[in-house]
Copies of this chain bind each other. A is one copy, B any other.
């Protein structure tokens, strides 16, 4: 610990990060032998897998403070043995594993077997969405994504180039846990223009998607002694799982054609409710004016409204619906993201916490990850400020509308007995069936459909209480012929139950 000043400028000791080689370990006069053997062992025990590259001889020799000839000779031996091969500018690459007995390090675990086909077993567990994604399918009609093939790669790269050319060195350091100032300003402007929300950028917190908002909120509610958060029924399964993970119960409240039943909400006695008022998931219902007024009254008596504005920008046959947050600030925790605008893989969203929880949110975000990555935030801010994101939204809206229409046309043709819900907006629609026409349940049906190569979500995943069977169908990410084939496949599975 008490290294004195005298020693600090001494010559470096010989040694390489690469495999932690140190020539001091070598027997006298046998440097090449020692190095060749060390490399063989490393290839053999997996530290140098096939395809990995060895350092340049010059570099490794300098690190080890040995002559370059020592390294060249060791590489030569492994080349002669057929374990490595020189590929000119691409360097020296491992191509085969020596037949030496393994020692020391534990053997690699076997690759996991394919998941058993239990995606649609009920009740769905916390891994259900990953299991569903991992299941192979010809056509994927899972809801929740925009047309991913339309991701504006060129515009993204152009914006990133602009950002990288302007960034100062200090921007690469640790940042504000609330997000990059440019991104918070861009989000405030976006929400003002598109969602009717007036908010100071200082009140915007950038998060890793709505999922992170919900987890941070669940932690805050838990510490605040909140044990129940009422949710819409039906309502997102994934969202419920997030609160259950923090031991917060989710009493279900009926959603009818005007949205959540506020009288039922009152009856639960829950101090908070999670809503998708602009476009209810999965039914697509819009919260009606009278319900909004009842809800504001409920909130004014102390209730907390969590407003998940997950896909409000996507609408086709109806006027835009302003966010509840645009009318009520104190009792609303508003959240949204770019997952449905650009891509879920970006993991960028925002939350406008209610004032009483603002500091708690900043603290929770700080402890969670010290704040979102800076580069993607600045790229997004650039896309928002340049109008590129609005252009993308307009483009997507035309494309999604065509796909929505194609899905409905196919449903009329192949599935005339299905009732379509919520097709006026969003990225998905819901179909329901009369229970009487149904042999089993919708999870079973989804499994049959998957067996025929098409992926859908059973409506029952999103119901807490028994309800009519149905399916939730995303149309945004599929071309029209796949949509038609997908619906035809659903009909086939339904009719062959």
Q: Inside 8 A of A106's CB, which chain B residues have their CB?
A: 198, 329
Partner of A408, one of B8, B16, B127: B8
**Whole-angstrom distance between the alpha carbons of A10 and B316 in the complex?**
10
**Whole-angstrom distance between the alpha carbons of A106 and B330 in the complex?**
11
**Whole-angstrom distance between the alpha carbons of A318 and B329 in the complex?**
58
Partner of A171, one of B11, B195, B345, B369: B345
State how many angstroms separate the Cβ of A364 from the closest Cβ of chain B.
Answer: 9
Partner of A419, one of B4, B105, B171: B4
Instruction: Please report the total number of A residues contacting B with Cβ < 8 Å.
Output: 137
Q: Inside 8 A of A172's CB, which chain B residues have their CB?
A: 145, 148, 151, 342-345
B422/A3 in contact, CB under 8 A = yes
B49/A3 in contact, CB under 8 A = no
**Contact flag A420-B4 (CB < 8 Å), given A47-B192, A317-B12:** yes
Q: Inside 8 A of A344's CB, which chain B residues have their CB?
A: 172-175, 370
Partner of A373, one of B173, B194, B376, B421: B376
User: Which of A74-82, A202-210, A300-308 binds B?
Assistant: A202-210
Q: Which of A114-172 contact B (CB under 8 A)?
A: 126-127, 129-130, 133, 140, 144-145, 148-149, 151, 153, 156-157, 160-161, 164-165, 167, 169-172
**Whole-angstrom distance between the alpha carbons of A4 and B420 in the complex?**
6
B198/A370 in contact, CB under 8 A = no
A285 within 8 A of B: yes
Q: Inside 8 A of A7's CB, which chain B residues have their CB?
A: 317, 424
**Whole-angstrom distance between the alpha carbons of A98 and B327 in the complex?**
23
A369/B347 in contact, CB under 8 A = yes
Partner of A3, one of B46, B156, B284: B284
B19/A345 in contact, CB under 8 A = no
State how many angstroms separate the Cβ of A137 from the closest Cβ of chain B.
Answer: 11
**Whole-angstrom distance between the alpha carbons of A423 and B156 in the complex?**
42
State how many angstroms separate the Cβ of A159 from the closest Cβ of chain B.
Answer: 11
Partner of A2, one of B13, B194, B198, B257: B257
**Contact flag A257-B1 (CB < 8 Å), given A15-B319, A242-B367, A367-B215:** yes
Q: Inside 8 A of A299's CB, which chain B residues have their CB?
A: none
**Whole-angstrom distance between the alpha carbons of A144 and B390 in the complex?**
39
A451 within 8 A of B: no
Partner of A5, one of B48, B256, B366, B420: B420
Interface centre among A49, A91, A127, A373 (most CB of B within 10 A): A373
State how many angstroms separate the Cβ of A52 from the closest Cβ of chain B.
Answer: 6
**Whole-angstrom distance between the alpha carbons of A197 and B310 in the complex?**
42
Nearest residue (CB) in B for A54 is B193
A411 within 8 A of B: yes
A313 within 8 A of B: yes
Nearest residue (CB) in B for A367 is B245
B387/A373 in contact, CB under 8 A = no
Q: Inside 8 A of A149's CB, which chain B residues have their CB?
A: 169
State how many angstroms separate the Cβ of A180 from the closest Cβ of chain B.
Answer: 9
Q: Inside 8 A of A196's CB, which chain B residues have their CB?
A: 19-20, 47
B375/A2 in contact, CB under 8 A = no
B343/A198 in contact, CB under 8 A = no
B368/A109 in contact, CB under 8 A = no
State how many angstroms separate the Cβ of A323 from the closest Cβ of chain B.
Answer: 9
A133/B174 in contact, CB under 8 A = yes
State how many angstroms separate the Cβ of A77 from the closest Cβ of chain B.
Answer: 20
A211 within 8 A of B: yes
Nearest residue (CB) in B for A378 is B345
**Whole-angstrom distance between the alpha carbons of A345 and B377 in the complex?**
11
A176 within 8 A of B: yes
Q: Inside 8 A of A313's CB, which chain B residues have their CB?
A: 17
- 5 additional contacts (CB under 8 A) given A3-B422, A13-B319, A157-B161: A1-B422, A17-B320, A18-B193, A173-B343, A211-B367
> Which A residues form the contact surface with B (CB < 8 A)?
1-5, 7-20, 22, 24, 42, 45-49, 52-53, 55, 59, 91, 105-106, 108-109, 111-112, 126-127, 129-130, 133, 140, 144-145, 148-149, 151, 153, 156-157, 160-161, 164-165, 167, 169-177, 189, 192-196, 198, 200, 202-203, 207-209, 211-212, 215, 241-242, 245, 255-257, 283-285, 313, 315-322, 326, 329, 342-348, 363, 366-376, 387, 390, 393-394, 404-405, 408, 411-412, 419-424, 477
Closest 7 CB pairs of A and B: A15-B319, A172-B343, A47-B192, A208-B369, A345-B374, A105-B198, A149-B169
